[in-house]
């Protein structure tokens, strides 16, 4: 039986498709530039007004607010290493840890940020494919190895031959962490950024110049 011929696109559908492709092409760059512009303008406006009060009239030059903002961020990074500031942070953390709900939220956020900030951690840079079989259909989920040492967890949470694999969700801030046997995953020769981009965009991420038509 012959399949029916494909329906022709209407003018409205054609125009909508062109508009969507145009938005996909320009939105990432436009949003990035807008965020940078907003940060620069905010620093220049807020800090610039403060500098104008201190400096004599006519001494202020455009861009001083941005330079002062960058300098303050640098000084803050140096100040964090100071003993007194670390002590103040420690007292603040102790106060937050006494509040039941805030304690859980603060601890989770701190651990999450600390995980990505660790210079010595290399496990997350290992991209793997978690191989599954559902109804006889082979499936592969792209994930990231986050842990292979479960000594700090309760007994039974992870075995010696098991690893924790983080599976991010597409277009969402979240994901699943599965503890699976090492034999269930296969390392992938792909960069972390490219793998993350592929997953969070639902597979639509492609490197520039490597778009291939669907067969």
User: Which CATH number goes with the domain that contains 139?
Assistant: 2.30.30
In a domain, 26, yes or no: no
DSSP 143-155: EEEEES--TTSPT
Whether residue 179 contacts residue 131, with contact meaning beta carbons closer than 8 Å, is answered with no
In a domain, 175, yes or no: yes
Cα–Cα dist 204/215, whole Å: 15
Instruction: Give the start-end residues of each E strand in the chain.
Output: 127-134, 137-147, 162-168, 175-181, 185-187
Q: Which two tokens stand for residue 181?
A: 């046997």
In a domain, 128, yes or no: yes
Q: What is the pTM of this model?
A: 0.42
Map residue 118 onto helix, strand or coil. Answer: coil
- Count CB atoms within 10 A of the CB of residue 115: 14
In a domain, 113, yes or no: no
In a domain, 97, yes or no: no
Please report where in the chains the tokens 């965009």 appear, as a residue: 201
Split into its structural domains, the chain has a count of 1
Quick one: what percent of the chain has pLDDT higher than 90?
0
In a domain, 61, yes or no: no
**First-residue to last-residue Cα distance in the chain:** 22
In a domain, 47, yes or no: no
CB-based contacts of 198, cutoff 8 Å, min separation 6: 142, 205
Tell me the residue range of the domain where 168 lies: 123-200
pLDDT at res. 138? 85
Cα–Cα dist 39/52, whole Å: 19
The DSSP secondary-structure symbol of 165 reads E
Residue-level pLDDT, tens digit, the chain, 215 residues? 455 555 566 777 777 778 877 777 787 788 888 888 888 888 888 888 888 888 887 788 888 888 888 888 888 777 777 776 777 778 888 887 788 777 777 776 776 666 555 544 555 568 889 888 888 888 888 888 888 877 777 777 777 888 888 888 876 667 878 888 888 888 888 887 788 777 777 766 555 545 444 44
Whether residue 164 contacts residue 178, with contact meaning beta carbons closer than 8 Å, is answered with yes
């Amino acid at each position: 039986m012959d399949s029916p011929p494909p329906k022709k696109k209407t003018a409205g559908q054609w125009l909508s498709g062109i508009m969507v492709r145009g938005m996909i092409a320009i939105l990432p760059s436009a949003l990035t530039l807008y965020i940078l512009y907003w940060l620069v303008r905010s620093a220049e406006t807020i800090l610039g007004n403060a500098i104008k009060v201190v400096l004599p009239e006519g001494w202020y030059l455009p861009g001083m607010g941005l330079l002062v903002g960058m300098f303050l961020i640098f000084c803050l990074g140096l100040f964090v290493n100071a003993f007194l500031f670390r002590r103040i942070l420690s007292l603040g953390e102790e106060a937050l840890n006494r509040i039941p709900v805030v304690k859980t939220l603060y601890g989770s956020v701190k651990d999450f940020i600390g995980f990505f900030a660790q210079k010595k951690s290399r496990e997350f840079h290992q991209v793997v494919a978690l191989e599954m079989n559902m109804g006889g259909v082979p499936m592969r989920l792209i994930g990231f190895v986050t842990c292979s040492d479960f000594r700090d967890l309760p007994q039974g949470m992870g075995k010696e031959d098991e690893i924790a694999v983080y599976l991010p969700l597409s277009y969402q801030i979240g994901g699943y962490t599965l503890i699976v046997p090492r034999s269930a995953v296969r390392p992938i020769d792909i960069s972390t950024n490219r793998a993350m981009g592929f997953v969070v965009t639902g597979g639509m991420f492609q490197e520039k110049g490597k778009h291939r038509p669907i067969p």
